[in-house]
Structures are given as structure tokens and as C-alpha cells.
Amino acid sequence: MSGLLTVSGLRAGYGEAVVIDGIDLALGEGRSLAVLGRNGVGKTTLLNTIVGVTRHRGGTIALGGRDITRLRPEQRAQAGIGWVPQERNIFRSLTVEENMTAIARPGPWTVERVYGLFPRLKERRSNMGNQLSGGEQQMLAVGRALVLNPRLMLLDEPTEGLAPIIIEELLAALQRILREEGMSAIVVEQHAQKILGVTDEAVILERGVVVHRAASAALRQDAAALERYLGVAGKKVT
């Protein structure tokens, strides 16, 4: 397993506020990481900092051995960062297909492969982005990130606000992307037990720092750690 992402002593936030304070992470090629924690502990800020949309206060970020700490967000995207933010950021005035073809880059993930992953999108390929349900918009957001053929995908609360049946469909797609296709990814998620079933590793944040690290399978069985850090075991983490 070769190293893909290395985060060292990362400090960042918004304005004068420091939200993450000295985070160290390493992710290997083809590995996936769940980032867990209660509300307001810095999970989204961590992803935003890797993307490059926060105020950097210290530390470094390297992707494939290249220091990307000072790169602009668009340069990080070109370097191989694919981002699925909470806001989804789809083009609402373009069709489903146009949303993907407008940004697609050469690589194994094509629009047709995304349709194979999300048949709902193929059925709605001519619908405008603003004509999709919330779940369909989320599928499109994931599809848009995939057709960029990134080296690393970042997904921020991909199941937030979705109906249970759509959550199961999306988690099944993530299982395929991460486990079968070997996409490297970091996933911030509130459904701890479910996301631990599809990722390789996990970290838990508190007050902007990593307080617990474990293999996802081990943490999934560790009721004491889930209760201590997240307040629940085997239930939805909000």
C-alpha cells in the first residue's frame, strides 16, 4: 500500500477562529477513511481544508508526495481531489447528463459507468438538476465527482436528510466505489455504524483534534468507544 494523502499538524478555520488544531492523518492508495464526531467538532472543516476553502493556520497537506498546502481549490482539483460537499453544488439549470459531461475527465469513470451505478440517473438523464429529488441530486453530486476521475474523493455527509431507502441505495453505491473499485476516499458521515461497514479505517474528532483511531470493523464492534465519543452505539449519530 503506497501513501496517497498525508496531513501533518494541520491547523485551520474561518476568520480568526481556529476549528481544527493540529490534525495528523495518513491515507494509503485505495483506502477509505470515515471521519466521525459530534456536531461542531471540525469534521466538515477538515474536508474543507483539504479542498482549500478555509483559512490555513499551520501544517501541511501532501497528495501523492506533492505538497498541495498552498494550492488554490481549482489547482487541488486538478491535482486529483474530488469533492462532494453538503450543498451538492450541481448545476441546476443543466440536465443530469450535461452536469457530468461538462466536467468529465478521461479515466475509468465515465458517464455510462455512473449510470450503471445509479440507474435512477439514467432514467432522468434529460431532467434538469432542479427537477431532481434530494436523493437524486446527491447521486448526481457523487457522479460528478466520479467522472472527474480523482485520486481522492471527499464526501461530506452524503446521506444527510435522505429517506432511508435512498440512504441504503447510496451506501450500496459507496460500498462498490470504495471496496470493489478501490477508490481512495474520506467520508464524513453521521450514520456511524453504516459508514463503518463500507470504509477501511476511522477517526473520531473532538474539539478539532483526533481523539480515537481504529480499523472501521473494530470500531463498529466497539460499543464503549461509540458511546464515549459519539453518544450512541448502533444508532444514528447526529
Q: What is the per-residue pLDDT across 24-79, written as a single tens digit (0 to 9) for each?
A: 999 999 999 999 999 999 999 999 999 999 999 999 999 999 999 999 999 999 99
Separation CA 51–CA 74 (nearest Å)? 9
Over 80: is that where the pLDDT of 205 sits? yes
Q: For residue 211, which amino acid is it? A: V
Computed over every residue of the chain, the mean pLDDT equals: 94
Strand positions, DSSP E, the chain: 3-14, 17-28, 32-36, 55-63, 66-67, 81-84, 152-156, 184-188, 201-206, 209-215
pLDDT value for 233: 55
8 A C-beta contact, residue 12 and residue 57: yes
Q: Give yes or no for residue 219 having a pLDDT over 70.
A: yes
pLDDT at 44: 97
Residue 37: its pLDDT value, please? 95
With residue 171 as reference, give the H or E element that holds it: helix 164-175
Domain boundaries, the chain: 32-41+73-230
Domain 32-41+73-230 coded CATH 3.30.420.10: no
Angstrom CA distances, 4 to 48, 78, 81, 116, 185, stand at: 18, 15, 11, 27, 10
Residue 238: all three cell numbers together: 447526529
pLDDT digits (tens, 9 = 90+) for 221-237: 999 999 999 987 554 44
Residues 201-208 have a mean pLDDT of 97
Distance CA(226)–CA(220), nearest Å, equals 8
Per residue in 79-94, pLDDT (tens digit) is: 999 999 999 999 999 9
Instruction: Write down the pTM of the prediction.
Output: 0.94
Judged against a pLDDT cut of 70, whether residue 2 lies above it is answered with: no
Residues of the chain with pLDDT > 90: what percent?
Answer: 93
Report yes or no: 182 and 159 within 8 Å, Cβ to Cβ: no
Q: What's the CA gap between 206 and 212, in Å, rounded?
A: 9
Coil, helix or strand at residue 121: helix
